[in-house]
Amino acid sequence: MNKILIVEDDNTIHDMVKEYLNKRGFQCEHAYSGTEALLVQKQENCDLILMDLMLPGLDGKQALTKIKKEYDVPIIIVSAKNTIEDKVSLLAIGADDYITKPFALEELEARINVQLRKHHTDKDDGIIVQNLILYPDQRTFQIDDTKVSLTKHEYRIMELLMQYPKRAFSKKDIYEYAWDDIYAADDKTVSVHISNIRNKCKGRDIIETVWGIGFKLNLERE
């Protein structure tokens, strides 16, 4: 069941959309503000986000930018703003689609299904190493029968290690690949993200520390 995050501070609109999508087989989560949307997405890893623009606190445009930096999730803007300039500016910074209020629920559902199809990745499209599968578009990886959600940088770390499973990489190598930036000496960022990945695997030691070098994929785990 696909999970939809509805970011909308108007209860009437939220309830209408939620009721319709629930009947169509979707699971819905709700956020009243851009700030709350960031928290809910982190906790629930929703498959698609419906984002209003006029939100209290962190507005929809700011929330869109922040979410796109961390998660590979389709975002459909749902707004009363209907100028070409508004639509073009939002699409330019990462929105996947834009629908203007008022809208037909059937059209909204159709647009949701289009975006979900575009972001769906079959197992054959993943990177496979032993019992690990990395899904590029979903930003998740699977170990045995367990699927783990990753942040943008966690995904890039796993992508590097799984592309070269027998090679050990230094913190500098990993940082410059995952962050696409110059590495700062003694920076703990890589170690923290490696620790987060390990914690998400719940005891499965999929990343090995190679003393004096850095990290590599653990191909000898039980």
Q: Same structural domain for residues 44 and 70? A: yes
Does the residue 222 lie in any domain? no
User: What pLDDT sits at residue 123?
Assistant: 40
pLDDT at 61 exceeding the cut of 90: yes
Same domain, 10 and 114: yes
Average pLDDT over residues 137-151: 82
SS3 string, the chain, reads CCEEEEECCCHHHHHHHHHHHHHCCCEEEEECCHHHHHHHHHHHCCCEEEECCCCCCCCHHHHHHHHHHHCCCCEEEEECCCCHHHHHHHHHCCCCEEEECCCCHHHHHHHHHHHHHHHCCCHHHCEEECCEEEECCCCEEEECCEEEECCHHHHHHHHHHHHCCCCCECHHHHHHHHCCCCCCCCCCHHHHHHHHHHHHCCCCCCEEEECCCEEEECCCCC
Domain with 74 in it:
3-119
Same domain for 144 and 73? no
Q: Are residues 7 and 19 in the same domain?
A: yes
Residue 82 and residue 107 in one domain? yes
57 belongs to a structural domain: yes
- Specify the pLDDT at position 15: 96
- Specify whether 131 is located in the same domain as 209: yes
